[in-house]
Structure 1
Amino acid sequence: MSAGGDARAAALVREAGRRIGQVVATLVCVVNPGVLVVAGDLASAALLTGLREGLYPLSLPRATRHLRVELTRLGERAAVVGLAHLVTDRVLAPAAVNARLAGG
């Protein structure tokens, strides 16, 4: 692929990031997460830049004041590791364990 093709692809990925950021802005305002981790085949600096460009203007300052938006460090294992943490947190949460011990 030519250098011009790479620049065009990067611009398209950045635009995709902007659109994703616009959608995620509502979620960030409601959930107020501390970190937003981006993973997947298109995860790149261009996607992250676009995501921030779409996210921050539409989000409440309080929701994004301490928000970290970053690329995953887990690579292809990100989805599996995230799912394992989610299941573990739900199954081993104190309320879930207490409910099982109480028979409910």
Structure 2
Amino acid sequence: MSVVESAEKHQDLVDELLEAVAAYNPQVDRDLLIRAFRYAEKAHEGQLRGSGEDFIIHPWGAAKICAELRLDEQTIAAALLHDVVEDTDTSPEEIR
């Protein structure tokens, strides 16, 4: 899969999350959330859920719940990244 295909693969999820956050925070730090999503997406590349869906669906779902609770961008970014250290060889220092 090319870089362009990868970036476009889950763009609908990114857009939906950004729209949900912007609904209560018009000044949302879009770059932070996009970077967190793409980092998690790359880290979980090739991992699948039991349902066969790409694993990124799980952290995205957690982030959506945070958005529904109207939480700040840092918390939403943490939700996107919450399984990266647990499920990959990434250290907490690398994420910071």
TM-score (norm 1): 0.28
Q: Say which structure is richer in strand.
A: 1
Q: Say which structure is richer in helix.
A: 1
